[in-house]
Structure 1
């Protein structure tokens, strides 16, 4: 599939979510999260939040097409970027917890695709004018992450308990990690925007390798993390379609955070 604008991106993601729900395919987990982020970005564009709404539409379309290309390549012959192969390769692994699936998608899309999409949106010196709008997405992404985290808590009782005990520390860490990744993505976007084709290919190769290594660490952590994840997984819902539906409605559900101090 190929999107021509942000509406196409939303529709394409919604289609993946629907099909994943029917098939009980865990690819719908990240797709549901990504759809909600894209809807929020589209709302911000229509609301005039960004300096250049038309540019952000182009940017989000290029960004979305990176995901669609990786998804189509995997479905076709399990090809595509290394980091996406690592991510999609765990979809049939029943031992991988919900949050791992989400983080694996976030890792590939931010640590590889984001810089490429930004550099293609604003090549050369034009990249610097994109920075403010690029950073505004951090706030949108952070807000969606918090709401989806609440949804995960309803599906994963032990994760919810750890969330309460940790006073939402895990969310702050996740939000900080996403912001740090996006800062690095911005640095790489500036780098890519100023490179020739041969240099860009080498940089993209390096980014893909690094994101693939991070994916393996997320998928197969060592030490005490692995048994902890196994314990968390034992309490999670095995109803994949229900999980997808729950995650896909996270931004429409009244937040448990509302009304609290």
Structure 2
């Protein structure tokens, strides 16, 4: 079922929740990233309501544009296996033997390295992009924080995930040679570039970003060295109950907030 275009951040949350529900029902691994992304969006919405951004209405538009990029890629893949290269690679591996954390990172790679910069440029075109810097960094910090909590949650359904630490493939925010921190900063520079370009120039830049993100996706999916045998061992011990895994990942931030509330005096 097509997700369509959201008009605001509430509709982005609802659209992502719908994808998660369908994935749980169908045992579809697309629900892994959708569960992560739903929680990011809920956290951003909370930050907007709490007044943490310089311009909450602008961030609602930003997050809506950002979410619609994912919905467009998801719908294109479901419709006829089309869409951006990096998203096609990510979705095309859903039935492969890649492990849970790879699915998450493939989605994060495509959404940060292709979609994030364009959403920012469309939110604040031209010279206005500079005023977005602080809020852009805050939304990216929220993204990184949720990514780390969800990765921690993966450990409960992927008992040998720590092997990635042993072979140096998961340290801090770096997983399978993909750095969330570095990619967030590169996305900002690309946003500034896109904000000042005309439509023809912008199309060429997006093509370049898509090609680069696809190359990274292939490296994430098929890493070399000691990482590959480690991933094979991990895959052999991971839960095959896809609906249960999705549900577990989708509750990562709720469990985090619940724990924090219980520890508060």
TM-score bin, normalised by smaller chain: over 0.9
Match of 1:77 in 2: 80
Match of 2:41 in 1: 38
Count of residue correspondences: 257
Shift of the 249–120 alpha-carbon distance from structure 1 to 2, 3 Å rule, reads: same
Does 2:109 align with 1:96?
A: no
Match of 1:159 in 2: 161
Shift of the 161–89 alpha-carbon distance from structure 1 to 2, 3 Å rule, reads: closer
Tell me the alpha carbon deviations over residues 108-130 of structure 1, each in whole angstroms, 9 at most, x when there is no partner.
00000000100000000000000
Shift of the 102–169 alpha-carbon distance from structure 1 to 2, 3 Å rule, reads: closer
Answer yes or no: is the 8 Å Cα contact 1:104–1:215 preserved in 2.
Answer: yes
Q: How far apart, in 1, do the equivalents of 2:213 and 2:164 lie?
A: 27
Tell me the alpha carbon deviations over residues 12-48 of structure 1, each in whole angstroms, 9 at most, x when there is no partner.
0000000000000000000000000000000000000
Q: CA deviation at 1:180?
A: 1.0
Match of 1:64 in 2: 67
What secondary structure does 1:223 align onto? coil
Q: CA deviation at 1:132?
A: 0.3
Answer yes or no: is the 8 Å Cα contact 1:66–1:113 preserved in 2.
Answer: yes
Q: How does 1:1-261 map to 2 (within 5 A)?
A: 1-93=4-96, 95-160=97-162, 170-174=171-175, 177-254=179-256
Q: CA deviation at 1:143?
A: 2.0
Q: CA deviation at 1:254?
A: 4.1
Tell me the alpha carbon deviations over residues 133-153 of structure 1, each in whole angstroms, 9 at most, x when there is no partner.
000123212221221122101
Gaps of at least 5 residues in structure 1 are: none
What secondary structure does 1:80 align onto? coil
Shift of the 257–234 alpha-carbon distance from structure 1 to 2, 3 Å rule, reads: farther
Q: TM-score, normalised by structure 1?
A: 0.93
Answer yes or no: is the 8 Å Cα contact 1:158–1:235 preserved in 2.
Answer: yes
Shift of the 99–257 alpha-carbon distance from structure 1 to 2, 3 Å rule, reads: farther
Shift of the 129–238 alpha-carbon distance from structure 1 to 2, 3 Å rule, reads: same
Gaps of at least 5 residues in structure 2 are: none
Q: How far apart, in 2, do the equivalents of 1:171 and 1:96 lie?
A: 21
